C-alpha cells in the first residue's frame, strides 16, 4: 500500500473510532431533546433544545424539583418537574405546595405568577383527591409542568414509574443565546 493509501486508511479508522464513541455516548450517557409545547413555561420554552443525562439515575434517585424526561406513551416523551418522590404526601392549598405537611417554596414559578394575572396558578388538590393514593408509591414519581394551567402531568397521567425515566435535563443548548444549565 502506498503512502496515500495508508493515509486514507488512517483517516477511515479515525473516523470510525470517533463515530463509535459518539454512538456509545449518545446511546448510553446523553441524549438531546427538543421541547414541544408550553407546559414548562417560563422555565423552558417551546422549541428549546436540551441535553438529557441518561445515566445519572442509574446510581441516584431523582430529587424533588429535578426536571426529568420520561416516556409518557409509546410515541411521546414529556419533560416535567419532580414534585413528589416515593412515600411523599402531596397537597396544594391556596397555591402553596405542601410535602408531608411542610410548605415548600417554588421560586421557579415566581415569573409565571407575576405575569399570570389570574387568582390561582395551581388549584387545590391532594393525591387522594386525584389519584386515590395517600402517598407516592415506591419506584414512582409525581410530576407537574411549571405552566400548571396548561400541562398534561401526573394530575391526569398518574404517577411516573422509574422504568419510564429517560433522564435528567441538564443543559439548554438552543437557542444559542440562552445556553445555560437547567435549574
Whether omega for the bond prior to residue 42 falls within 30 degrees of 0, making it cis, is: yes
Question: Which residues form the catalytic set?
Answer: 39, 80
pLDDT tens-digit profile of 46-67? 888 888 888 777 788 899 999 9
Using an 8 Å Cβ cutoff, are 65 and 40 in contact? no
- The DSSP string of the chain is --HHHHHHHHHHHHHHHHHHHHHHHHHHTEEEEE--SSTTTTTS-TT-EEEEESSGGGTSPPPTT-EEEEE-SSS-EEEEEEEE-TT--EEEETTEEEETTEEE--GGGHHHHHHH-SS-SS--EEHHHHHS-SSPPTTEEEEE-SSGGG--SHHHH-PEEGGGEEEEEEEEEESGGG-EE--
At residue 173, does pLDDT exceed 80? Answer: no
At residue 27, does pLDDT exceed 80? Answer: no
Q: What is the pTM of this model?
A: 0.81
Number of compact structural domains in the chain = 1
Q: What is the CATH number of the domain that holds 142?
A: 2.10.109.10
pLDDT tens-digit profile of 104-119? 999 888 777 766 656 6
Phi and psi at residue 128, in whole multiples of 5°? Answer: -65, -35
Domain region containing 147: 3-181
Amino acid at each position: 500500500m502506498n503512502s496515500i493509501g495508508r493515509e486514507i486508511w488512517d483517516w477511515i479508522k479515525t473516523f470510525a473510532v470517533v463515530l463509535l464513541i459518539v454512538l456509545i455516548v449518545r446511546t448510553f450517557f446523553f441524549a438531546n431533546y427538543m421541547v414541544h409545547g408550553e407546559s414548562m413555561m417560563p422555565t423552558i420554552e417551546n422549541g428549546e433544545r436540551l441535553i438529557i443525562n441518561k445515566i445519572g439515575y442509574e446510581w441516584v434517585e431523582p430529587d424533588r424539583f429535578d426536571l426529568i424526561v420520561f416516556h409518557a406513551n409509546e410515541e411521546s416523551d414529556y419533560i416535567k418537574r419532580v414534585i413528589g418522590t416515593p412515600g411523599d404526601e402531596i397537597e396544594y392549598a391556596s397555591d402553596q405546595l405542601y410535602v408531608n405537611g411542610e410548605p415548600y417554596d417554588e421560586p421557579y414559578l415566581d415569573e409565571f405568577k407575576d405575569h399570570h394575572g389570574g387568582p390561582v396558578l395551581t388549584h387545590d388538590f391532594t393525591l387522594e383527591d386525584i389519584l386515590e393514593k395517600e402517598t407516592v408509591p415506591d419506584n414512582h414519581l409525581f410530576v407537574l409542568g411549571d405552566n400548571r394551567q396548561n400541562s398534561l402531568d401526573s394530575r391526569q397521567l398518574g404517577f411516573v414509574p422509574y422504568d419510564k425515566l429517560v433522564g435528567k435535563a441538564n443543559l439548554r443548548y438552543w437557542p444559542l443565546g440562552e445556553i445555560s444549565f437547567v435549574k
